[in-house]
Amino acid sequence: MSNGGMAKMMKQLQKAQAEMSRMQEEVAQKTVESSSGGGAVRVVANGQKQLISLQIEAEALGEDNKEMLEDMIIAAVNEAFNRVDEMVASEMQKLTGGLNLPPGMF
């Protein structure tokens, strides 16, 4: 590869990295919501898989419901994190224009 071709490739790589960085910042600001138990437990997570809100309906509270409540919280959080993964994958698809780049490329 000529020096000119290498320089062009490096410029494209730098541009892609800058776009990736911008996309990661944008995704970090977005949120996803999930619920379980028919809405008894609701969670909101950001694009960095950080739980930022947890709401529990009063009916779900109580010693009799402890295990069920714990399971509903786990289910809602896991679903929210799955939605974050889907959101990131969707944004990545837009960024790469459908190229099937290997994981960890950026």
Q: Of 10, 27, 25, which Cα lies nearest the Cα of 88?
A: 27
Predicted local distance difference test score (pLDDT) of residue 63: 77
Q: Which residue has the tokens 């990661």?
A: 24
Predicted local distance difference test score (pLDDT) of residue 43: 94
At residue 99 the predicted structure's pLDDT band, cuts being 50, 70 and 90, is: low
Give domain status of residue 86, yes or no: yes
Give domain status of residue 2, yes or no: no
CATH of the domain at 71: 3.30.1310.10
At residue 106 the predicted structure's pLDDT band, cuts being 50, 70 and 90, is: very low
The pTM (predicted TM-score) of the whole model is: 0.68
Give domain status of residue 34, yes or no: yes
Give domain status of residue 35, yes or no: yes
Structural domain boundaries, residue 69: 23-95
Burial track 60-79 (b if 16+ CB lie within 10 A, e otherwise):
beeeebeeebeebbebbbeb
Give domain status of residue 104, yes or no: no
13-64 pLDDT, tens digit per residue, is 788 788 888 888 888 888 999 999 999 999 999 988 899 999 999 888 877 8
67-97 pLDDT, tens digit per residue, is 889 999 999 999 999 999 998 888 888 776 6
DSSP label at 59?
Answer: G
Domain count, the chain: 1
